[in-house]
Homo-oligomer: A and B are copies of this chain.
Amino acid sequence: MSLKKIGEFGFIDKISRGCLVRPANIVKAIGDDAAAFTTDAGQLALITTDLLVERVHFLREAVSGLDLGHKCLAVNLSDIAAMGGEAREAFVSIAIPADCPLEYLEALYDGMKQLAAEFAVNILGGDTTDSKVDLIINVAVYGTVAENELLGRDGAQPGDIIFSTGPLGDSRAGLHLILNEIKADSAQLKSLYQAHVRPAPQLHEGRFLACQPGVHAAIDTSDGLSSDLGHIAGQSRVGATLQAENLPISKALQSFCRRFDFDPIQFALAGGEDYTLLCTAAPQHAAALEKNFKNRFKRPLSRIGQINATGRLEIVYPDGQVKPITPSGWDHFKALADEDHDGN
């Protein structure tokens, strides 16, 4: 089926189905000039937006519509998670090149709708237009959080313990498989591939952290641990020391790094797109936080380092070596010429 044949409004009719999963409080959904909904009193509104561009963030021929749709929404839900919020409404803008089949677009929306339904998020509107060359998708997400539960990047304090809610570096390994057309021929390689194409937004983990005593700051690991920890340190005007041996590196990543001769610490530090949450918490609350997290999510909260007052970021290796950490996560503009999306 060609997009040109069904037209913009035919396309909107098609993609509108299944978008409203939580109709309470929704006054206008898709179909008016703007969406309208009532907000809860005493809550903060959160809004985040992310733009994904073909050949920059994804290769259309290398990613299924379903996976791409999942990721477009997941990266935004992850930002709401990093604020401790609950995601509520999503808005999807899409610019479509003439050669993009309708089936691919429907799969893309299905990927978004499946993830949206999982977290009771409505897709309430957006914009559809055409594009000359590249498929372009912008998703904006509205969420809410109680004022006293908001997690920012600027609250870290010297002495705070630094945690990650999940493994680091897997997504970068998955990207390596895709860019080098290496078949994911084992359960371990498949898990790395999945980490890249199907990141799980940690909304439940974000809400959990927001409600625990002593949690001071949080961010999601989108650019890479070194860069994202740099944001916390910069905005909190603190420094940090990581323990290399404590970085949560999955068995799959260890095995991948042995096979392809990479340093897993580098993948964990600079990989990016893991979409775990980094948080910092007062040391006297750290043990209870770890225990409560383990009870709730049946997996560890990884203690990876400590905040200090130096203003510097460093990593300590098991042999006692101390190396400075540079914010070598992915910086779009400086890496324009780097097809590999690798900030190293």
Q: Which residues of A contact B (CB under 8 A)?
A: 3-4, 6-9, 11, 27-28, 31-39, 41, 43-51, 53-57, 78-80, 82-83, 85, 89, 91, 93-96, 98, 124-134, 136, 138, 140-143, 145, 147, 150, 152-154, 219-220, 235, 331-334, 336
Contacts and interface: CB of A to CB of B under 8 A. Distances in A.
A212 to B, nearest CB: 18
Stoichiometry, as copies per complex, reads 2
A78 B96 CA distance: 24
Contacts of A53: 95, 129-132, 136
A161 to B, nearest CB: 20
Nearest to A223: B8
A33 B140 contact: no
B129 A49 contact: no
Contact of A333 (B8, B27, B143, B333): B8
Contact of A32 (B6, B136, B152): B152
Contact of A83 (B33, B93, B150): B33
Kindly list the 9 A-B residue pairs having the minimum CB-CB distance in the complex, ordered from nearest: A34-B48, A138-B138, A51-B93, A41-B41, A33-B82, A33-B79, A140-B140, A34-B46, A39-B39
Contacts of A27: 44, 147, 150
Contacts of A220: 33
Nearest to A206: B33
A195 to B, nearest CB: 20
A32 B153 contact: yes
Contact of A36 (B11, B145, B332): B145
A209 B2 CA distance: 40
A308 to B, nearest CB: 22
Given A31-B153, A219-B33, A7 B334 contact: yes
A26 to B, nearest CB: 10
A129 B50 CA distance: 9
Chain B CB count within 10 A is highest, among A85, A125, A333, for A333
Contacts of A48: 33-35, 91, 125
A132 B36 CA distance: 35
A292 to B, nearest CB: 23
A235 B32 CA distance: 9
Contacts of A334: 4, 7-8
B93 A3 contact: no
A123 to B, nearest CB: 12
B85 A34 contact: yes
B7 A49 contact: no
A91 to B, nearest CB: 5
Contact of A332 (B50, B128, B141, B150): B128
A142 B82 contact: no
A152 B80 CA distance: 29
Contacts of A154: 32
Contacts of A89: 47
